[in-house]
Structure formats: structure tokens, C-alpha cells
Structure 1
Amino acid sequence: MELIGSTLTATYARPKTSHFLPAISTMASSYRNTQPALAMNPSANLWRTNSYYKSSVVPTTSSMQRENLDLTRAKTMFYPSNRTALTTRYTPDDWHKSNQSNYRESESSRKSAERLRRDTIRLMQDKDQLTRRTQENTSKNIGERLNDIVFWKSELSHEIDNMVTEIAALTEVKRRLERALAETEGPLQVSQECLYHREKRMSIDLVHDDVEKDLIKEVEVIKSCQERMRRHLDRAIAQLASNRAAQHELERDLNDKVTAQRIDDRCHYLRNTSDSISYYRGIERLDPSLSLPDSWSKFTDDNILRSQSERAASHKLRDEIEILLNSTSNEMWNQFNNANVAFTNRISETADAKNSLQSHLAKTLQEIFQTEMLIESLKKALRDKENPLKVAHTRLEERTRRPNIELCRDNPYHRLVTEVREIEDTIHKLKERLMEAENTLQILVKAKTTLEHDLSIKANSLFLDQEKCMSMRKSFPSMPRLVGYT
């Protein structure tokens, strides 16, 4: 359909699709003469708007009505705002796609709900079975605990019945024990000094590493050995005075076992239908226990052994003290060696980290240099684009001065516009890349500062571990001194 709705002498063919805009072209082939159409159809100008055309004949009533109708159609179909409203409507394809999307979403929701329902039912069943199994295992554990209490209670009762008051002389063993206890003060002070010096590490090197763990464990081992030595020393002193203390410990332990048995027996027979059950908020996070199963049984066993040693005479207690001295000396020496190995590994690891940091610092410095060169290249590239952009702008500006019909939107005009946009897009991209390069440079400079700071930290850590700590750890007591011979 030909549209004759402007003062120009050219006609434009409307494209079939609304999503395609007609190309702007001023070629000679795009111009057509409208005069033949007007000659063949004199009524073709009836629908032209009054703002551009006026009739040379006095219109009749019927011709005026037809002209108003044509004007209304022209306003509806060819005004730009009305054309835009028509092209923004949805298509039947969009309508069908929307329906299909809703169907798929509904089906997905139903499947998710069904899967959730199945999983929830299975979860409730599994958790119900797990709760029953857990309660059965707990009742079984309490029953086993009751058996242990009954066993140890019978042992304590038997030992109390067979308690004797005979005491052996432990003077020499007591003297050795006191001497070995005094020898542990030196290693304890060295370990604490090492921990104190390592607190002077800086920043990221102030870590809870294997060396610190072994040093803390070394302090704990020495203190544990001291505690056991003091305990055996107290045992020897108390046994020299009276064996009544051992009997008292046995009786007190027996009373505790009776109380524990009564409590655990009541807990063993608790059921879900019992009347005395209730909620105790936070009780599962409260741990008032003072011992573990091993230490619990060891406590009673130590009491019984103490009583048996008092009955069996002084040589059994001397044997126990001898074993104690050997075990504590071995524990302290083993832990001392473990700490030394940890020190060696940590020193090697720190030295490797320092060398790696130096390597990374060199690479970072090189990358900083290359990034700076890249920034200079980008700046030069931006400067180089100024003159081509000026040339394109100047050409466009000069061509605006062409007179009359020569002011044509020809191929050079389109090419110049494209050239300006391409150059501006190039400048925009170069500026973005320049900003990225500058940000990267800042990151590299920050990384360089971090590496230099970390290098100083590693040097300080090496000095503390290698010079301060390892030099003090050369004066650990020998094995004979730890067992109290010299």
C-alpha cells in the first residue's frame, strides 16, 4: 500500500513486520514521482490532512463526512504515537508461551510438593526408629555402667575387709622421688620461656602451630609428671604416718559408688511413661563430670592398689615409685624430642615460606613494572585517538554547510557517523581498560607491601625459634637425673 502523507514527493513502502525499521536511504532509486498516481486517481488526495492540503472545490455535505472519516483513519493509523501503541501489543505466540510457562511452573511446583511430602514421611519414620534405637542403646549403656559400679563396689568392700595396718619404710625411695621432682623445674622453666619468646611473633606468624602445641603439651606433661610425683610422695609420707587415710579413701569411694549405683539404677528403670520425667532446658550442654571412664576406673584401682601395697609391705610401693620415675622420665624425654622435631620442621617451613615470599616479591615487582608500562601504552593509545576523532567531527561539521539539495544523507555521511561512534567506543573501551590497569596496579602495590611486611615477620619468627628457643633447649636434664639417681 502506498502512503502519501507528507509534503515530500517520495513514497515509502511500510514493512510487513512491526519489528523492522525502514533503512534510512537517500539513493536515487528510493524516490518516486507521485504525480502519475494523482493523475490516474484524482480522489487520492481526499484523505490528506487539512494542515498540508486544501481543496480547491467547495465541499458538499457527503464529501465532508467522507473527508472527516478519512482524516480520523489517517490520525489513527499514521500518527507516530498511535503506531507505537499498536506495535507494543502481545502476539498470539506470546500468549501461548505464557500459558505453557504457567503449566510448566505448576507441574514443577506439584512435583516439588510431592517430593517434599514423600521425603518428610520417610524422615519422620527414620527419626522415630533412630529415637527408639538411641534410647535402647542408652539404657544398655546405663546397665553396663551399673555392672561396672557393682564390680568395683565389691572390690572395694573386699579390700576394706582385708585392710591391714602394716607399714614399710620408704625413706630412700622418698628421697629419690623428691630429687627427681626438683629436676623437673628446669625443663618446665625452659618450656615456659620458649612459649613467652614465641609470643613476640608478629601478625600472621602468631599462629597456634605444632611447635606451640608441643610446647604447651610439654608444659602439661611436666606438670602432670610433677603432679604424679607429688601424689606418690604424699602417698609415701601418708603411709609412713598411718594407713588410716587409705582406709578412709576406700570407704569414701565405696559410699560414692553406692550413691552412684542408686542414681543410675533409678535412671535405668525410667521409661517414656514414667511420672518423674520432665524437661530440663540446657541440661545436654551442661557437663558437670569430673572424670572419664578411664580415669574413673583408675581412681578406684589406685585406691585398691594403695591398700594392697600397704598390706603387701614396703617393697611393692617402692616398685610403683620406680615405675613412676621411669614412665615420667620417658614421657618428658619423648615430649622434649617431639617439641625439638616440631621446632626443626617449623624453622624449615618458615625459611621456605620466606624464600617463596622473596620469589613472589620479585615477580610482583616485575608485574608492577609491566603494568605501569601498560598504563603508559593505554594513555598513548587514548592520545592517538584524539586526532582521528577530530578529523571525523570536522568532516561532519564541514559537510553540514553543503547547500540546498546537496545536503544529502549519503554514504559518506553514514560512514562518518559510524567512524565517530567506532572511535568513541574505542576510546570508551580504552578508558575502561586503563581504569582496570590502574586498579590492578594498586592491587599489585598493596600485594608488594604485604609481601615485604610478611618477609619481616618471617625473619622475626626465624630469629625467635632458631636463636632464642633452640639455644635454651640444649640444657635438658639427662635420664639418670630425671629418675633421681644424681
Structure 2
Amino acid sequence: MQSVVTFEKPLPHLSLPDWDARLYNLQVTADTRRADAFDLRHSAHQLRNETRIKTEWDTYHNNNRISARIYEIEQWKSTIQDLLNRINREMDLLKEEKASTERELEQLNLPLLVCSECLSNRDGRRSTELTYDMADTELKKELCVTESNKKLLIDRCQSAWEKINKLEVMKFKLQLDLNDKNEALAIDKDMLSLDKNCANITFKTDSLKTPKRMITGQQWVDKVEGMKRMAEDELRDTLRLRESLFVARGRARNALRAQTDVTNYMLRRRIYDTQRARNELEWQKIKMEENMDKLKAELKIMGEQFTDKVDALKVAETRLETRGYRPGIELASDEADVGLKEEVRNLRETVRQLQEKLDCAKATYNALESASIKIGIDLNDKNQSLEVDTRALEMRSALEPKQLVGTDKNLVLANIQDELPKMENF
């Protein structure tokens, strides 16, 4: 009989060898798991280090790339901004040159008006004074030169207007490109300051997609360099156009000034020639009137002598006729008869000669009178022509440039009158 009652679980019990084997298996399993855990921890640590280093280096390189891109864009932005400033400056200078050319063009209206008035006034000359002289030819040449200058300046103004429009287009393109670069700089700078601690970072649905408008880096360089070349070409063309505007104004001014001097000289020469011809005609008229007075006196004396000779002829013929009535043998051809007949013949010849001379003298007097009348008419025409040419020369005094003296003259000769600051009235 047992004093203690024992109970056993109704399960199979292991033997000691089995227990030792199980313990050994657990030890081996634990060692394996620990080795696996060690290997895992080591590989995980290595992977973490490698990924951290790779991520940091990738971030570093990309930051450098973004910084380099920012620097490159800033350099191009500076270049584009400089080109934009130069274009603005060239546009202002070109507009000033265009305005100066337009003012010069407006100033051509006065020479055209004066030249036209001179031609119209000189066309009012009378009779033989209405000639195609050198003054008339030079006036027409001046009209042609002025019209040519006007056409030249109009063409230059048209070219300047077209160039200003092209510069406006170029300015718009540069400004648009500058705005794009400013926006790109803002984006790149914002992305450069972005890190994993920022609050506005999120996963994107398709971050590796390529936008449709994206171009390659070389294409980008080609485009900005092409725009730079276009802007520089426009600037060079604008500079040449500004120089051509300045040269055109100078040439037009010099050509008109030279032609104006020639025309004035021809007008003065024509006035001198007309005055000389008028003075010559006045002298001729005075001498002719003197000769007319002398011839008139001679005609009076010759008329008296003619009357005297006619009376003497009447006396001689009366004597001869009356002696023909002598009676008988008294009707003889004596010396008195011969003498009277000779006297009659001589008196008739003298009367004939005096009559011819009187007729010639009267014709000469009439010719002198007619010539004097013609000279008087021509003198009136020449005086009227002198008045016309003198009035034309006075009208052309408006074309004479203002005579500068002292500092103003030196500034114009040195062509620096536009470079001095304008004085303000206080």
C-alpha cells in the first residue's frame, strides 16, 4: 500500500537521449538563427551605409548639377539682359536719328516752297527777258536736288521705321526668354533648397515621364546662341542704319547747300548781266535821244534850206518863163538865158538832193525814234526782270543758314552740340 499517490500526464515521455538530442537540436537551431540574424544585420548595415552614401553622393552631384545649371542660366541671363539693354539703347538712339531725319525732311518744305515761288515769280518776266538762263536752269536743278533729298530721307525714315519694328520683335523675344530664364532660375533655386525635411515633398504619379516640349541640352545652347547672334546682327544693322541716317542728312544738307550757293550765284550773275545790259541800253537811249535832238535840229535847218532852194527855183523858173515872152528878135539865147537855165538845172539838182537827204534824215529819225521806243520797252522789261530776280534773291535769303559765332560755332564744327547738358531755367 502506497502512502503517496502520484499522477502522470497521459502523454508519452521522452527518454534522456531524446531529450539530449532535442536540446542539441535547439542549440543548433539557435546558433543558426543567430548567425542568420548576424548576417542579416551585417548586410542590412552594409546596405544602409551603401544606400546612404549613394543617396548623399547622388544628391551632392545633382545639387552641383543644379548649381552649375543655375550659374549657366545666370550667365546667359546676364548676356540676354545686356543685349536687351543694348537694344533699348539702340532703339532710343535710332528713334532720335529718325526724329532728326524727319525734322530735316520737314525743313525741306521751305526750300521747295522758295524754289517754286522763285520759278513762278521769274516766269512773270516779260517779252525777251523770259529766257531759259542759267539761273532758271539752276533753280530747276535745285528743285530736282531737293526732291531727290526728300525721297532719300523718306526712304531712310521708312527703313528706320521697319528696323524699329524688327527691334521691337527682337526685344519681345529677348524679354520672353529673359522671363523664362527668371522663372527657370526661381524653380532651380527652389529645388536646390529642397531637402527631405521639407514639408512640400510628396510622391508623384509618374516622375520619370519626359515632357513633350523638352529639348536636349545642346539644342538649348543652340537656341540661346542663335538668339544672341540674331540680336547682335540686329544691333549691327541698327548701328549701320543710324550711321546711314546721319550720312544721308549730311549729304542732303551739303548737296542742297551747294546747289543753293550755285543758284544764288547764278541769280546774282543774272542780276549783274541784266543791270549791265540795262545800263548799256540806258546809255544807248541817252545817246540816241541826243542824236535825235541833233537830227531834229538838222532836219529843221535842212527844211529851211529846202524851202529857200525851192523859192530860189521858183524865182529862176519864173525869170526863165517870163523872158520867153520877149518880142521879136529880143527873144534871143543870151548869156542870161544860158545862166538862168544853168541855175534852174542846178537848183533842181540841189532840191532833189535836199529832198533825198530830208527823206533819209526823216527815215533815220523815225528809225531812231522806233529804236528808242524799243529800247524804252526793253528797259522796262529789264527793270521788271531786275525786280523779279532781286525779289527772288531776297526770298532765298530764308535758305541761308544762321551764322553762328563763338562757342556755338565751335560746337557745330566739332559736332558735339547734342552732347552738352541742357541748361534749365530756374
Superposition TM-score, scaled by structure 1 size: 0.45
Task: Find 1:190's aligned residue among 98, 101, 114.
Answer: 114
User: 2:315 & 2:383 partners in 1: Cα distance?
Assistant: 60
Letter in 1 for 2:307: R
Q: Deviations over 1:64-103 (max 9, x none)?
A: xxxxxxxxxxxxxxxxxxxxxxxxxxxxxxxxxxxxxxxx
RMSD: 3.5
Is 1:437 matched with 2:361?
yes
Is 1:336 matched with 2:336?
no
CA contact (8 A) 1:197 1:469 kept: no
1:210 positional shift: 2.2
Task: Find 1:206's aligned residue among 106, 130, 148.
Answer: 130
1:478 positional shift: 6.0
Structure with the higher helix share, 1 or 2: 2
The aligned runs of 1:31-180 (5 Å cut-off) are 170-180=94-104
Alignment-derived partner of residue 447 in structure 1? 371
Is 1:322 matched with 2:246?
yes
Q: Deviations over 1:175-222 (max 9, x none)?
A: 332222122112221222222232333333332222222222211111
Is 1:362 matched with 2:299?
no
Q: Unmatched 5+ residue regions in structure 2?
A: 1-86, 167-232, 404-411, 419-426
Higher-RCO chain (CA-CA 8 Å, sequence separation at least 6): 2
Alignment-derived partner of residue 141 in structure 2? 217
1:172 positional shift: 4.3
User: 1:341 & 1:400 partners in 2: Cα distance?
Assistant: 84
Is 1:417 matched with 2:308?
no
User: 2:320 & 2:134 partners in 1: Cα distance?
Assistant: 75
Letter in 1 for 2:152: R
1:365 positional shift: 1.5
CA contact (8 A) 2:142 2:256 kept: yes
In structure 2, do the counterparts of structure 1 residues 451 and 428 end up closer, same or farther at CA, with 3 Å as the change threshold? same
Is 1:387 matched with 2:311?
yes
Alignment-derived partner of residue 278 in structure 1? none
Alignment-derived partner of residue 104 in structure 1? none
User: 2:397 & 2:111 partners in 1: Cα distance?
Assistant: 8
User: 1:447 & 1:342 partners in 2: Cα distance?
Assistant: 30
User: 1:228 & 1:335 partners in 2: Cα distance?
Assistant: 16
1:224 positional shift: 1.0
Task: Find 2:320's aligned residue among 385, 390, 396.
Answer: 396
User: 2:124 & 2:389 partners in 1: Cα distance?
Assistant: 11
Task: Find 1:371's aligned residue among 295, 314, 326.
Answer: 295
Letter in 2 for 1:435: D
User: 1:394 & 1:450 partners in 2: Cα distance?
Assistant: 48
User: 1:452 & 1:313 partners in 2: Cα distance?
Assistant: 66
CA contact (8 A) 1:389 1:420 kept: yes
Is 1:462 matched with 2:374?
no
Across the two proteins, how many residue pairs are aligned to each other? Answer: 252
Q: Unmatched 5+ residue regions in structure 1?
A: 1-166, 243-308
Q: For 1:474, what is the secondary structure of its paired residue?
A: helix
1:401 positional shift: 3.3
Letter in 2 for 1:180: E
Structure of higher CA gyration radius:
2
Letter in 1 for 2:367: I
User: 1:379 & 1:370 partners in 2: Cα distance?
Assistant: 14
Q: Deviations over 1:39-79 (max 9, x none)?
A: xxxxxxxxxxxxxxxxxxxxxxxxxxxxxxxxxxxxxxxxx
The aligned runs of 1:192-341 (5 Å cut-off) are 192-238=116-162, 313-341=237-265
1:414 positional shift: 4.9
In structure 2, do the counterparts of structure 1 residues 471 and 238 end up closer, same or farther at CA, with 3 Å as the change threshold? closer
Q: For 1:208, what is the secondary structure of its paired residue?
A: coil
Q: For 1:401, what is the secondary structure of its paired residue?
A: coil
Q: Percent identity?
A: 29
Q: For 2:315, what is the secondary structure of its paired residue?
A: helix
Q: Deviations over 1:350-398 (max 9, x none)?
A: 3333332322222122111111111111111111112332333234324
Letter in 1 for 2:279: N
